[in-house]
């Protein structure tokens, strides 16, 4: 009687060929995925900067309306650390009410209460806001928090 021989699995050569094909595919795909991850991180930094600009503009407008914007005792420059901390909280970028580590901001406000320039860094990207435009660059360009009236 002629029996049909049962299949016992893949041969070693078949497994090696499949692994080689997977290695070649991974070599092509991993660099392209890392580019997508970098772009996503950059967009996240720009989004955080947009939120911060909105929060800073709200607070600067409030101080302008209260006539305390450039008051030497209560104004933005007199309490720049508190102003920036309030902006982080309002923009929901805070870390439990504190400024997150490696996040720094330099805000320039006109005497009329308008944000004219803002530089935001999250330790990985630095985003500059000027005249409605956002420009992101890799790296941290600033290391202190300041808010000034110019």
Give the pLDDT confidence of 108-134 residue by residue, as tens digits.
998 888 999 999 999 899 999 998 899
pLDDT of residue 28: 86
Supply φ then ψ for residue 42, to 5 degrees: -65, -45
Q: What does pLDDT average to over the chain?
A: 88
Question: If you ran DSSP here, which 8-state letter would residue 110 be given?
Answer: -
pLDDT above 90 covers a percentage of the chain that reads 46
Residue spans of the domains in the chain: they are 12-149
User: 99 with 85: CB under 8 angstroms?
Assistant: yes
pLDDT of residue 3: 61
- Residue 31 in this model has a pLDDT that exceeds 90: no
Higher pLDDT, 31 or 59: 59
pTM of the model: 0.77
Degrees, nearest 5: CA angle 53-56-149: 110
């Amino acid at each position: 009687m002629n029996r049909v021989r049962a299949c016992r699995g893949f041969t070693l050569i078949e497994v090696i060929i499949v692994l080689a094909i997977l290695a070649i595919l991974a070599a092509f795909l991993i660099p392209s995925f890392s580019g997508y991850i970098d772009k996503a991180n950059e967009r996240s930094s720009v989004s955080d900067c947009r939120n911060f600009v909105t929060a800073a503009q709200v607070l600067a407008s409030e101080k302008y309306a209260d006539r305390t914007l450039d008051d030497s005792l209560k104004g933005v420059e007199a309490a720049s650390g508190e102003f920036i901390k309030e902006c982080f909280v309002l923009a929901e970028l805070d870390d439990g009410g504190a400024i997150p580590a490696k996040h720094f901001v330099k805000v320039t406000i006109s005497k009329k209460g308008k944000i004219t320039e803002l530089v935001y860094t999250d330790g990985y990207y630095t985003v500059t806001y000027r005249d409605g435009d956002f420009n992101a660059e890799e790296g941290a360009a600033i290391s202190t928090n300041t808010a000034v009236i110019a």
